[in-house]
Amino acid sequence: MSVTDDLRAAFLTRELSDAQRAELAAVSEEICFEPGQELFHEGRPADHLWMLLEGEIELSRRIGRQTVVVATMSTPGQWAGGLTAWGDEDATYRASGRAATEGRCLAVPSEQLRALVERWSPFATHLLLGVFHTVRTIDATARERQSLLALGELAARLAHEINNPASASLRAVEAVRNAAHYMLDSLVSLAEQGVTAATFLDIDRRRAALEQHEAVDDDPLDQADREDLIGSWLEDNGIDLAWRMAPVLATAGADRGWLEELEEAVGSDAMPAAVRWITSTLGMTALLDELGEATSRIGHLVEDVKTYSAMDRAEAQQADVTSGIESTLTVLGPKLAGLTVVRSYAPEVPAVEVYAAELNQVWTNLIDNAVDAMAGSGTLTLATSLAGDDVVVEIADTGPGIDPAVLARVFEPFFTTKDVGKGTGLGLDIARRIVVDRHGGELTLDSSPAGTVARVTIPLGRADT
């Protein structure tokens, strides 16, 4: 029996004319298959339409850690794929096709399919394009909303993280301004007391010795006692603002003996100005250190967000998976309060060719789900390892686990167990598409009453475009 005869018997093509069936056969490839042979793979570009001529083909999808048969093609004329024919070059096979018996099928290139259908029935072509693009538009709108929600959460978290060092910077700037005023005022007072250059150099030497001295960090009660002793001595000697200078001097390691030696060197008249100058200088140094730490923290946050969003890496590039996870933890920082975070990163894991920003979205969704499952208390474990030619990332929580009935549906678009307004049901679907479709990897969930483990497997050096 010829392919044309097969097409005449198949329900999909029986209404075509002999000439049309001949045209279809001419641009197609007849493929004979054996049991177990894979014909097309879930997540790969749907660049062919596969039409059954005889035999059986099972269609399966990865759901969690299982491969589930979702349909069987057994009637001549049943088809799958060919979605790139309708204007979306990124359309992928929604399931894998594997032969269940011996048989034959026809593989029609999507480009040729589009040309034939347009010529045979322009009206049908317009309907197909309309339906396909409508579905794609609805899907894209939903995903855009999910992205906007994620962006809003990211902005709120970043604002929260930056607020603390930014506030500390503002406080430090104001304190530096006051310290500079006291320092200049004390210099004027020293000049008015007629302090010689040699005496001033001696004051500065004592100041430098304190500055180089390791800061005292004793028991709070001991620190308070030292402050009281220094404050009392300053007040007894008629030095104003003793309560403000005592903590600085006590932290720097000054004591009563140090004060008495300074007074003997500069004289009682110049002592108040000398103490004020030393204290304001020490305070200025501490404030500048605090300001440096705060601005450095802001810089690190910006760098983490840049790593998280991969603003400078639009194309697939070699990236460190661990860095992406760490930047995600920084962005999600406020949500981790109350949780124990355990890191188990294998040192031998190499850089992998990925779309970094997209992969970081995967970490965000998986970590966010894990955190939500633990409801503010538990252990979040992050692990990386190398398994053959794959990088494996595991994100585990100690939550109550996922019901098996729910676990079988978690990767379905729009399926969610969260309350209305708290979830769109797209997080795991998007994560799975990124891992499977874009990186040729696997995303599975293993759950029990003791917790859930999300496992991402990414092949080395492979990111589909």
The CATH superfamily of 3-120 is: Jelly Rolls (2.60.120.10)
Out of 123-137, 266-280, 353-367, pick the least confident: 123-137
Q: Quickly count: other Cβ atoms within 10 Å of residue 23's Cβ.
A: 17
Q: For a pLDDT cut of 90, what percent of the chain falls above it?
A: 22
pLDDT digits (tens, 9 = 90+) for 148-162: 565 566 666 666 667
**Structural domain boundaries of the chain?**
3-120, 158-299, 316-459
Mean pLDDT of 406-429: 62
CA distance 12 to 106: 12
Give 316-459's CATH code, choosing from 3.40.50.970, 3.40.190.80, 1.10.10.10, 3.30.565.10: 3.30.565.10
Assess whether pLDDT exceeds 80 at residue 101: yes
d(CA 10, CA 116): 18
Question: Is 60 exceeded by the pLDDT of residue 119?
Answer: yes
- Tell me the per-residue pLDDT of 33-88, one tens digit each, with 9 for 90 and over: 999 999 999 888 889 999 999 999 999 887 655 677 888 999 999 999 888 888 77
CA distance 42 to 92: 7
> Any residues with CB less than 8 A from the CB of 241 and at least 6 apart, and which?
276
Mean pLDDT, all residues of the chain: 82
Tokens coding 248: 């600085």
Q: Do domains 3-120 and 316-459 have the same CATH topology?
A: no
Residues 454-458 have a mean pLDDT of: 93
CA atoms within 13 A on the CB side of 84: 18
